[in-house]
Structure 1
Amino acid sequence: MMTQIAAIGAALISLICCCSGASICDSIEEETPVHLLSTKTGYFNAEKDKSHWKKFSEEVGGCSAQQMWLLNRHGTRFPTRNDMGRLMGVLPSMSQQIEANHRQGRGCLKKEVLDQLSSWFPPYEIRDREQLQETAYDELSSIGEYWRDMFPHLFNVTYDPVNFKVDFTVKNRTGQSAYHFLRGMFGEDAVGNIELPEPYSPNFILRFYKSCPRWLHEVYKNYETTYKERRLFVQTEEFQNMTHAVSTRLGFMHPLTPRELESIYDECRYESAWWPGRKSAWCSAFSHSDFEVLEYHQDLKYYYEDGYGHPLNSKTACRTLGDLYTYFRTSVSLGEARPQGIFYFAHDKTIIKVLSHVGLFQPSQHLKHDNFAEMKNRSWRTSYVSPFSANLAFVLYRCDSEYKVGTFFQGQPVPLMGICRGVTCQWEELNSWLNENYQTCDLSKLCMIHDEL
């Protein structure tokens, strides 16, 4: 008798779940867009803005590129040690439970997705942690090829260490990224003979934030303030509805825990970056609107931790821009560019802080927990500003007796609206701004923790 009652109860719960989840199941599109996945967006999935290209080309007509300064984020990687431990600890049993849920009549994943999940096994081992994944080899190589084809007189040449400076952080993935970038630019045969420098730490150009006690104290480890908006966003109706929808779609009769939700989302993001031509089964848990909510959740973290959400973030990048200034000023002064290519390979935190320093992609208002709807079309989103292999380049052009500077993000020209009047900068304009930045940049003073009296 008790068995029958239990069976009837289970059937009723299943019916209620099914009815309430009908619209949730219907919200899954045949091909849900999965290209906006915050800082784990694959480079080949990242959208690139080409709206300024024609105007930019017209502005630099008759000019010749003399020197490039490039800052590149490392390519698509495997999870970190902590993330990998979490994914391995949650997902294998989760995949089996999702299959069991559907056998009991709950959930709404398609059979082919369930088949993929039932046979899913982590596509990585502990030794892979933080290393580049194979897709990154193509990402970086294609970027190197792109710049070689863009400026053949600069880069379609025999590699000479006198003409090129390469630097990267102590993390192995940035050194690997440099190697594959140079492979794309100079060729398979040449790259084997290029002697890469030994990385060092602290590196005040490429990882300045790690050596800034004030930033670590006031921003990175200031959990109460820095991550306040993100915590509040988790409590909003948008986030709670997303959690309910994903849980129901996977057949659970209780909300997924933050750890479970994060694991499913992260695996979806990693696999989408690793295999851009196919859809990860884990991504089938989310609708288009779910992805938007989760992306905003990520944006709230990086906006305050690295971007415009705290003034100290952009200020710490002053030495990096000082390096750019030194190279370009010397080339203009001498009338000759040496080296002609400066190539740096670093991390998302470096990219975001430098972008904030020069005022690129600044939103009209701060990202907050309660303005998600208003910020749907925001210019600042991590899927755009810091995907894997994100890159920012400044190119010094010689135009008869004057110089101009072009700014490129993801290989496409972008105007420095707050610094220069046109899509390209007159050297005098950028020189004035960079010089002021250079003169006032004192990281020792900026990063000092001041005792409160």
Structure 2
Amino acid sequence: MKTISALLYSAAALALMSTGSSSVQAYSESFDLLDHTNLFSYYRPANTNLTAEQVALPAQCSVDQVHIVGRHATRYPSTNSYNGLKRIGDKVQQKLQANVSILAPELEFLKTWNLDEMITDPAHQIENLTALGLTEAYDFGASVRKKYAHLYQQDATVWSGSVERVQLTAKSFMQGLFGQEAVENHYANLITSNSSDKTIAANTLTPIDTCTNFPKGLGSPQQSAFQNTWVPQALARLEKLWPGFEFIADDLMGMMDLCVYEMALRSKSERRFCKIFTDDEWQSYDYFRDLSYYYDSGYGNPRARTAAYPYVAAVARLLAQPKTASCQKIYAAFSHDTQLSIFLTAFGVNEDATPLSSSAVNLARKTRASRSLLMGARLVTERINCGSEGSFVRLTVNDAVVPFDDCKDGPGLSCSLEKYLIRLKSIEAKAGDFMTQCGVAAAPGLSSVNTLFENPARNLCSSN
């Protein structure tokens, strides 16, 4: 693993490289590309239709408890993704050797393009955080310290899944939040939850992995059906740009993935691959990815609420306490995109009125991974104290307030704590019991309750 400083230097060097991007662009100037780049995108605040006035808190209100669950920050491709990208790179080289004179202007850059420019050391980079990812996590920690300065506690505990990129995200976040002292203390206040331990039931940050009955692959048939509505036309258009390349669906999706990865790994302004594709193709790409989230780890999966509810309930128990047993005020934890997807489902937000269709893009859908599950995504639950008016609860997703549809009449579109706890009862009823619904065999110490946050590394009451 490269050191953080080395990775940062590498990123800076790449950002200065000349990319030779083509001026030919298939998507329109007014099209918001980054709102359609989905799960591989680097972090950016979510688009929202809410105004600052709508979400502003009155002077008598202030946040007094915060719960964060984040996805790891920007990473290099996974092993499977990298193998797919490498296959495209090899195919490009083979086709170039056969005929280089028939490329359309928007593909001219492929004559000198090489995947090795972006991924220089696959053995150490694949699956791991990028330099940008380390910076994102650090900046997030610093922003939390600034935004919630009145809640800051130097010895607060942070929780993390056990996969290396998740731990590195948590550690970089801690550097931004606590400063150099976090490094000097060897991250003593970081608690790691074993992501591969199947015996911990609901007491985890990766409940999909411990819910034995969690259905897998429900989105694949939906994605396959949807591909038939747009991929053939896109392939025919691409073949006109490079006759004889023999584009297949994997080439199309892989090149669109390359657009997103190049922005994350080379430069945020790098859009050579992005420019190849039209508005409609980007909307279809985004929807294709969303179908997977919806059916694999969202409202279309009957066990999504079941697996995620113990986390939501754990947060609710702490929200209901005027002062928690450990006196901690900011609870931060880090996991993966699919885990965040089920957490959103258990919070009961962004639920579409009808299941997502595989016959056409639903432009009005609420399931939007580009706004909620991209690299570095973060869900933040705030408890807001308004004095004699009581306490309220509000959820933000990637820095945008996401009101609860059934309860948003409080300050800044929040929900009263009392009503929030009541609304969770109906979600709990839909979720069912974790142990029972997930098929986890009863054993000493196992339960449907997540108690991770009730056992921090330190009790902070003496310092309050």
TM-score range, shorter chain: 0.7 to 0.9
Structure 2 counterpart of 1:143: 140
Change (3 A) 1:32 1:408: closer
Amino acid paired to 1:426 = S
Which residue number corresponds to residue 403 of structure 1? 391
Residue 305 of structure 1 corresponds to 296
Provide the secondary structure at the position in 2 that maps to 1:308. Answer: coil
Three-state SS of the structure 1 residue aligned to 2:394 is strand
Cα separation, 2, equivalents of 1:280 and 1:100: 25
1:8-43 CA distance string (max 9 Å, x none): xxxxxxxxxxxxxxxxx8845579754121111211
8 A contact 1:79–1:130 mirrored in 2:
yes
Query: Deviations along 1:41-79, whole A, 9 cap, x unmatched?
Result: 2113x5332615322324x43123221111111111111
Q: How does 1:328-407 map to 2 (within 5 A)?
A: 328-329=319-320, 331-332=321-322, 334=323, 338-372=327-361, 375-401=362-388, 402-407=390-395
Secondary structure, aligned partner of 1:79: coil
Is 1:187 matched with 2:187?
no
Deviation at 1:411, TM superposition (A): 2.0
The counterpart of 2:238, out of the listed 243, 246, 259, is 246
1:32 and 1:398 mapped to 2: Cα distance? 40
Return the structure number with greater helix share. Answer: 1
CA contact (8 A) 1:359 1:418 kept: no
1:312-346 residue CA offsets vs partner (Å, 9 max, x unmatched): 222321101111012112x32x5887211111101
* Structure of higher CA gyration radius: 1
Name structure 1 gaps, 5 residues minimum: 1-24
TM-score relative to the length of structure 2: 0.79
1:39 equivalent in structure 2? 39
Residue identity in the other structure for 2:101: Q
* Cα distance in 1 between the residues matched to 2:291 and 2:348: 18
State the 1:413 CA deviation: 2.1
SS of the residue 1:277 aligns to: coil
Mapped partners of 1:346, 1:125: distance in 2: 23
Deviations 1:117-137 (A, max 9, x none): 268645141222211111111
**Residue in 2 that maps onto 1:55:** 54
SS at match of 2:158: strand
Correspondent of 2:191 among 194, 197, 222: 197
How many Å apart are 1:301 and its aligned residue? 1.5
Tell me which residue corresponds to 2:421.
Answer: 431
Structure 2 partner of 1:178: 170
Could you tell me how far 1:367 is from its partner in structure 2?
Answer: 1.6
Amino acid at match of 1:153: H
Q: Which amino acid aligns with 1:389?
A: G
SS at match of 2:384: strand
Q: How far apart are 1:307 and its partner, in Å? A: 1.1
**1:104 and 1:282, CA in 2 relative to 1: closer, same or farther beyond 3 A?**
same
2:180 counterpart letter in structure 1: E
Deviations 1:167-196 (A, max 9, x none): 111211111111111112222344432312
- Give the direction of change, closer, same or farther, for the CA distance of 1:139–1:362 in structure 2 (3 Å limit): same
- CA–CA separation in structure 1 for the residues paired with 2:31 and 2:49: 24
Q: In structure 2, the residue corresponding to 1:430 is in which secondary structure?
A: helix
Distance in 1, matches of 2:234 and 2:336, equals 30
Aligned pair 1:165/2:157, yes or no?
yes
Contact 2:102 2:243 in 1 (8 A): no
Aligned counterparts of 1:178 and 1:435: Cα–Cα separation in 2: 31
Which of 220, 236, 251 is matched with 1:227 structurally?
Answer: 220
Instruction: Give aligned pairs, total.
Output: 405
Deviates more, 1:341-350 or 1:313-322: 313-322
Q: SS at the partner of 2:127? A: coil
Does the 8 Å CA contact 1:208/1:316 hold for their aligned counterparts? yes
Cα separation, partners in 2 of 1:64 and 1:446, compared to 1, 3 Å: same
Q: Please give the per-residue CA displacement for 1:334-361, whole angstroms capped at 9, x wherever unaligned.
A: 5887211111101111111111222222
Match of 1:265? 256
The structure-2 alpha-carbon separation of the partners of 1:53 and 1:315, relative to structure 1 and needing over 3 Å to count, comes to: farther
Q: Does 1:418 align with 2:406?
A: yes
In 2, Cα distance between equivalents of 1:107 and 1:175: 44
Q: Which moved more, 1:320-329 or 1:401-410?
A: 401-410
- Matched residue of 1:240: which SS? helix
Give the Cα–Cα distance (whole angstroms) in 2 for the partners of residues 188 and 116 of structure 1: 42
Q: Deviations over 1:192-231 (max 9, x none)?
A: 323122432346331111111211xxx214xxx5422211
CA distance in 1, matches of 2:206, 2:264: 24
1:82 offset after TM fit, Å?
Answer: 2.1
Shift of 1:429: 0.7
Amino acid at match of 1:368: S
TM-score, with structure 1 as normaliser: 0.81
1:104 CA drift (Å): 2.7
Whole-Å Cα distance in 1 between the matches of residues 376 and 60 of structure 2? 31
Q: Does the 8 Å contact 1:325/1:438 carry over to 2? A: no
Change (3 A) 1:239 1:263: closer
Paired amino acid for 1:326? R
Higher mean alpha-carbon deviation, 117-126 vs 383-392, is at: 117-126
Letter in 2 for 1:256: F
Whether the 8 Å contact between 1:66 and 1:337 is mirrored in structure 2 is no
For residue 398 of structure 2, what is the amino acid of its counterpart? Q
Contact preservation (8 Å) 1:53, 1:412: no
**Contact 1:141–1:185 (CA under 8 A) maintained in structure 2:** yes
Question: What is the rounded CA distance, in whole Å, between the counterparts of 1:343 and 1:184 in structure 2?
Answer: 13
Q: Percent identity?
A: 20
Q: Secondary structure at 2:349's aligned position in 1?
A: coil
Tell me the equivalent position of 1:5: none
CA contact (8 A) 1:244 1:255 kept: no
- Does the Cα contact within 8 Å between 2:67 and 2:332 map onto a contact in 1? yes
Contact 1:213 1:448 in 2 (8 A): yes
Unaligned runs of 5+ in 2: 1-23, 442-464
Distance 1:93 1:57, change over 3 A: same
- Cα distance in 1 between the residues matched to 2:212 and 2:302: 15
Q: Tell me, yes or no, if the aligned pair for 2:382 and 2:394 is still in contact at 8 Å.
A: yes
Which residue of the partner structure matches residue 277 of structure 2? Answer: 286
1:71 maps to what in 2?
69
User: 2:346–2:427: 8 Å Cα contact kept in structure 1?
Assistant: no
